[in-house]
């Protein structure tokens, strides 16, 4: 493409960043409230303006090019500064704090992109973050100890549903533990939905198993798998790429997905800071259907 001196339009940059963050044209379309074809057209205009291809796309996936990677950091800074300017001129800035909870599973994949958008807009708001399992976060929100939490919900009345997160069996490719009978498994704490789902799936299959590792820590679950101690059931977003996803060919049936929701305390209803972060969580994650990338 020939180089040009064309100005970079905000809408082009918004679409570009949205496509990178959501991983797809369809996900970006929901985030920027445009049609998929309109997002594609905005990207073409941006590529023409900078004189480089920014994304290599095919029918299944997309990869950011080196030129796209270089532009991405500038695009984020431009958009963040634009947001700061807008909020600075719209009246009184938000202040206060938001006590936010999230399990380790969801922190990097889903929460990081949201906070990256929230922070430059509301620099006067302090985020107090607690990383715990959903079983610990739910009662803390109900008791008013936390304002918001991103959770795997255990009941339809627990918060606002955002998306369904797939669960997968994982094992180390160096240890064929799936061949063993009974199957050695690593599980979370007694009340964990992931634990209940894993045990239910094995019972449905009639697959004999024994619990050899028990921990509420995601890092502990991964360590048990890496060391060849057990196989485990993890959320797809938290499964490291170096672990092997196990399925029917390994004698392991499907697992029910997690219902991921944002749960808000009654005590926080009068907080504008909590309102703003709650709305951003819902709009970003529900529209993106859990496709946001960190």
Buried b (16+ CB within 10 A) or exposed e, 74-111: ebbebbeeebbeebeeeeeebeeebbbbbbbbbbebbb
pLDDT-derived band at 1, boundaries 50, 70, 90 = very low
pLDDT-derived band at 287, boundaries 50, 70, 90 = very low
Contact 25, 288 (CB under 8 A): no
Instruction: Say whether pLDDT at 188 is over 90.
Output: yes
207 φ, ψ (degrees, to nearest 5): -90, 120
What distances in angstroms separate CA 85 from CA 44, 94, 223, 226, one per listed residue?
Answer: 27, 14, 45, 48
pLDDT-derived band at 289, boundaries 50, 70, 90 = very low
Instruction: Say whether pLDDT at 214 is over 50.
Output: yes
CA 183 to chain centre: 30
Instruction: Say whether pLDDT at 273 is over 50.
Output: yes
Instruction: Say whether pLDDT at 212 is over 60.
Output: yes
pLDDT in tens, 23-54: 788 878 876 778 999 999 999 999 999 999 99
Instruction: Say whether pLDDT at 4 is over 70.
Output: no
For residue 219, the model assigns a pLDDT of: 93
Q: 152 is written with which tokens? A: 């795997």
For residue 60, the model assigns a pLDDT of: 61
Q: 175 is written with which tokens? A: 């240890």
Higher-pLDDT residue of 123 and 111 is 111
pLDDT in tens, 44-86: 999 999 999 999 876 566 789 999 999 988 988 888 788 777 7
For residue 5, the model assigns a pLDDT of: 60
Contact 264, 148 (CB under 8 A): yes
Cβ neighbours of residue 13 closer than 8 Å, sequence gap 6 or more: 46, 75, 78, 79
The arithmetic mean of pLDDT across residues 149-156, rounded, is 89
Topology agreement, domain 96-164+259-288 and domain 167-256 = yes
Alpha helices per DSSP H over the chain: 10-22, 25-32, 36-50, 66-88, 104-106, 112-121, 134-142, 193-205, 218-226, 272-281, 287-288
CA distance 141 to 228: 37
pLDDT in tens, 222-247: 999 999 999 999 999 999 999 999 99
CATH number of the domain at 167-256, please? 3.40.190.10
pLDDT-derived band at 3, boundaries 50, 70, 90 = very low
The arithmetic mean of pLDDT across residues 277-283, rounded, is 87
CA distance 79 to 292: 17
Architecture of domain 96-164+259-288: 3-Layer(aba) Sandwich (3.40)
**Domain ranges within the chain, ordered by starting residue:** 10-88, 96-164+259-288, 167-256
108 φ, ψ (degrees, to nearest 5): -70, -45
Q: Which fold has domain 10-88?
A: Arc Repressor Mutant, subunit A (1.10.10)
Task: Look over the chain and give the mean of its residue pLDDT values, rounded to a whole number.
Answer: 88
Instruction: Say whether pLDDT at 291 is over 50.
Output: no
Three-state SS at 37? helix
Find the largest Cα–Cα distance for the chain.
67
For residue 131, the model assigns a pLDDT of: 94
Higher-pLDDT residue of 254 and 120 is 254
DSSP 138-182: HHHHHTTS-SEEEEE-SSTTSSEEEEEE-EEEEE-TT--GGGSSS
């Amino acid at each position: 493409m020939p180089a040009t001196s064309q100005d970079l339009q905000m809408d082009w940059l918004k679409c570009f960043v949205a496509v990178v963050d959501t991983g797809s044209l369809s996900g970006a379309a929901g985030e920027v409230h445009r049609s998929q074809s309109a997002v594609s057209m905005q990207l073409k205009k941006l590529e023409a303006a900078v004189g480089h291809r920014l994304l290599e796309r095919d029918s299944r996936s997309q990869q950011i090019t080196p030129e796209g990677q270089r532009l991405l950091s500038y695009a984020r800074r431009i958009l963040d500064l634009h947001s700061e300017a807008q909020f600075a001129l719209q009246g009184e800035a938000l202040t206060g704090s938001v006590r936010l909870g999230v399990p380790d599973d969801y922190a990097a994949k889903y929460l990081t992109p949201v906070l990256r958008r929230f922070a430059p807009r509301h620099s006067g708001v302090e985020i107090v973050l607690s990383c715990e399992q959903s079983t610990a976060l739910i009662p803390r929100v109900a008791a008013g100890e936390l304002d918001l939490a991103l959770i795997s919900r255990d009941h339809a009345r627990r918060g606002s549903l955002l998306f369904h997160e797939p669960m997968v069996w994982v094992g180390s490719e160096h240890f064929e533990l799936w061949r063993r009978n009974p199957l050695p498994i690593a599980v979370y704490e007694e009340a964990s939905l992931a634990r209940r789902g894993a045990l239910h799936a094995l019972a449905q299959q009639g697959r004999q198993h024994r619990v050899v590792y028990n921990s509420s820590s995601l890092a502990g679950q991964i360590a048990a798998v890496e060391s060849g101690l057990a196989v485990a059931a993890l959320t797809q977003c938290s499964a490291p790429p170096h672990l092997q996803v196990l399925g029917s060919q390994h004698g392991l049936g499907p697992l029910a997905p997690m219902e991921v929701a944002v749960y808000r305390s009654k005590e926080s209803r009068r907080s504008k800071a909590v309102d703003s972060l709650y709305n951003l969580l819902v709009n970003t994650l529900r529209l993106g259907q859990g496709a946001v990338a960190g």
